[in-house]
Amino acid sequence: MLNDQETVLIKGYYTLANNSIAHDLIPTEFQKKLPGSYKSIPATLLGRLAIDKRFQRQGIGKLLLIDALMRSYEVSKSIGSFAVVVDPIDEDTIRFYDKYGFIKLADSGKMFLPMNTIKTLFD
């Protein structure tokens, strides 16, 4: 959650939850590094990233995304998570996540960013 300390106004927030990705939806180049016996691969769902309309287009989404990725990466060290998954609601949201390297999952509308990619941002 990003808020204004002076007015206690919430400018935006995000949610994270455990999730999984069906093994066969993951692009082939990533499947090679995953256990073939798993039907689904553990992931972290960035379930909601929302910015108050009054504060959109001010870089808050980027700040919250970076924080969400950092938290997801830290937790993945303990619980194991292959990627952060998002489910974009429209073309603008797809473009937002695409700009940060998220990859489309076949036939699902969802996108993912591998934890190995996220690791390079914070290690």
What mean pLDDT is predicted for residues 94-117?
92
- Under the banding of pLDDT at 50, 70 and 90, the label for residue 22 is confident
* Mean of pLDDT over the chain: 88
- The answer for residues whose C-beta is within 8 angstroms of residue 92's C-beta and 6 or more apart is none
**Domains of the chain as residue ranges with CATH:** 2-122 (3.40.630.30)
- Residue-wise burial string across 25-60, b where 16 or more C-beta atoms lie within 10 A, e elsewhere: bbeeebeeeeeeeeeebbbbbbeebebeeebeeeeb
From CA 84, how far away is CA 66, in angstroms rounded? Answer: 12
Q: Is the dihedral of CA 98, 110, 85, 29 positive or negative?
A: negative
Mean pLDDT on 88-99: 93
pTM: 0.86
